[in-house]
Structures are given as structure tokens and as C-alpha cells.
């Protein structure tokens, strides 16, 4: 199916920030390729919602982004969905604590795979489309790429690598493709439970004294989609927390 409307692939788009990002880009005229791995029911329901708003404007693709062959299939299937790809949002990510003594090769491969390897190879596999369409990439980084989060060393290393990937590829792929990153702060309390005391500590470190929302991240990504003179930049969306420091979430 060939379309003249711009098309975006959002990885991990069935839930949370990925879903909100896809929703906002859809509202701004994009066709959406919704990627998922395990969350197929949620992804299918979301695609139905988007298609109810605008007919034939969303499709679902499934892939394990830690596997190189599935990354190639993901790129191929995403491109085939609407006949073009104009934007890639590398949102999918594994996130869980890994104290040093608990790290093994499976943990390393998962965290490095989802947070660093997958973004690189997806960009590589989509180069023909992104180049042809003067496209752009937005990588979901993290404020903890600069200020490590205790007990999350492998995750923080992977996100630090993603920062360098963003900056390096912005040079390698210019002038045809823009590559930028969004570094969220405390947006939603993550699934790895924090104590009430820890939550209070996090809020005390945020200049705006509140959590952000998925909408805040989606708005930043929408901005990057339109910012045709911005590349190689990491935009912190954290309520000022990276200025004040912080270590819990």
C-alpha cells in the first residue's frame, strides 16, 4: 500500500509513552506503524482505535528487537505497511535493576540489545527510506545516561551509548537524515517499585516539583519531527531535574 502521507514507525508503541507518542503523531497527520513484541492484544486494540479515527492509517508489526533477523524483518514490514517510512521513534526499551553481581550475559544482551543495538540496526535497515524521504530519527535516551542510577549500571551504559549513537549518526547521516534524542526524567513511576520516601526524594529533586506525563514526551518528539534545523541534540524533558541532580528514578 503506497501513501503520500508521512509514515512513522514507533517501537514499543502499544503502551505508555510509545502509545501517547503515536497518538499525537497520528493527530498531526502521520500514518503509524505500531511495533510490539509481547503486547499484541494491546497493539491490535490501539491500531483499531487509530483506524476508527482515520481509515487505513495504522498497522501493527511484531518483532523481538534483540534479534538481528527480526530487526531486518521489522524494517521491511514497516516499510511495506504504507510504502514508505519518514520517521523512526526508537522508544522500546528494557529497564530493570542489575546490581553488578547479578549481571550475566542474558541480562547484558537484553539491556544492550533493546536500548542500543536495536536503534542502530533499525536506523541502518531503514536508511534507504529515511534518506529518500529526508527523514528523521528520535531516540528515547534518559537523563541517567549522564547521571548514573544506582543498581542500574548496564541500563545506564546502554543509554549512554545511545547518546553517542545519536550524536555520531547525526554527523554520519547528514544532511539527508536528522537524528535527535529525548531524555525523559521522572515521567511515570516505573514498574520497579519505589518506596514512598524514595518518591518524595525524587520529587524534591525536580525543579517543577511534579512528575511529567507521557504527553510531555510526545510533545517533545512532535517538536523534533518538525524541527528541520535541529540534529544531533538531546533534549531533556525532566522538569529541571538534571540541573538539580538525582539518583532514584
pLDDT of residue 115: 98
Using 50, 70 and 90 to split pLDDT, how confident is the model at 8?
A: very high
pTM of the model: 0.93
Per-residue pLDDT of 119-132, as tens digits, reads 999 999 999 999 99
Contacts (Cβ under 8 Å, ≥6 apart) of 100: 153
Instruction: Please say if the pLDDT value at position 109 is more than 70.
Output: yes
d(C-alpha 205, C-alpha 201), whole Å = 7
Instruction: Please say if the pLDDT value at position 181 is more than 90.
Output: yes
Please name the residue ranges forming H helices in 83-230.
105-112, 118-125, 127-132, 153-172, 196-204, 214-226
Per-residue pLDDT of 55-71, as tens digits, reads 999 999 999 999 999 99
Catalytic entry in 30, 152, 155, 223: 155
Instruction: Please say if the pLDDT value at position 98 is more than 80.
Output: yes
pLDDT of residue 194: 67
Instruction: Please say if the pLDDT value at position 212 is more than 90.
Output: no
**Catalytic annotation present for 30:** no
> What does the CA dihedral 148, 149, 152, 157 come to, rounded to 10 degrees?
-20
Domains located in the chain, CATH noted: 7-244 (3.40.50.720)
d(C-alpha 82, C-alpha 6), whole Å = 9
Amino acid at each position: 500500500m503506497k501513501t503520500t502521507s508521512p509514515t512513522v514507525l514507533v517501537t514499543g508503541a502499544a503502551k505508555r509513552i510509545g502509545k501517547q507518542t503515536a497518538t499525537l503523531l497520528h493527530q498531526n497527520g502521520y500514518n503509524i506503524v505500531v511495533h510490539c513484541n509481547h503486547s499484541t492484544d494491546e497493539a491490535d486494540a490501539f491500531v483499531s482505535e487509530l483506524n476508527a479515527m482515520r481509515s487505513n492509517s495504522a498497522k501493527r508489526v511484531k518483532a523481538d528487537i534483540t534479534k538481528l533477523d527480526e530487526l531486518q524483518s521489522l524494517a521491511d514490514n514497516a516499510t511495506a505497511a504504507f510504502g514508505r517510512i519518514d520517521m523512526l521513534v526508537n522508544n522500546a526499551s528494557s529497564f530493570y535493576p542489575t546490581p553488578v553481581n547479578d549481571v550475566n550475559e542474558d541480562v547484558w544482551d537484553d539491556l544492550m540489545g533493546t536500548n542500543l543495538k536495536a536503534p542502530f540496526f533499525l536506523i541502518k535497515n531503514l536508511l534507504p527510506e529515511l534518506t529518500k524521504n529526508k527523514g528523521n530519527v528520535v531516540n528515547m535516551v534518559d537523563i541517567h545516561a549522564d547521571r548514573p542510577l544506582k543498581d542500574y549500571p548496564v541500563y545506564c551504559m546502554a543509554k549512554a551509548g545511545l547518546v553517542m549513537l545519536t550524536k555520531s549518526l547525526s554527523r554520519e547521516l547528514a544532511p539527508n537524515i536528522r537524528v535527535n534524542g529525548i531524555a525523559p526524567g521522572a515521567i511515570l513511576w516505573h514498574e520497579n517499585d519505589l518506596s514512598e520516601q524514595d518518591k518524595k526524594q525524587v520529587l524534591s529533586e525536580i525543579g517543577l516539583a511534579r512528575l511529567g506525563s507521557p504527553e510531555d514526551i510526545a510533545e517533545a518528539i512532535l517538536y523534533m519531527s518538525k524541527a528541520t534545523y535541529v540534529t544531533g541534540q538531546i533534549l531533556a524533558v525532566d522538569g529541571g531535574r538534571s540541573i538539580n541532580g538525582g539518583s532514584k528514578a
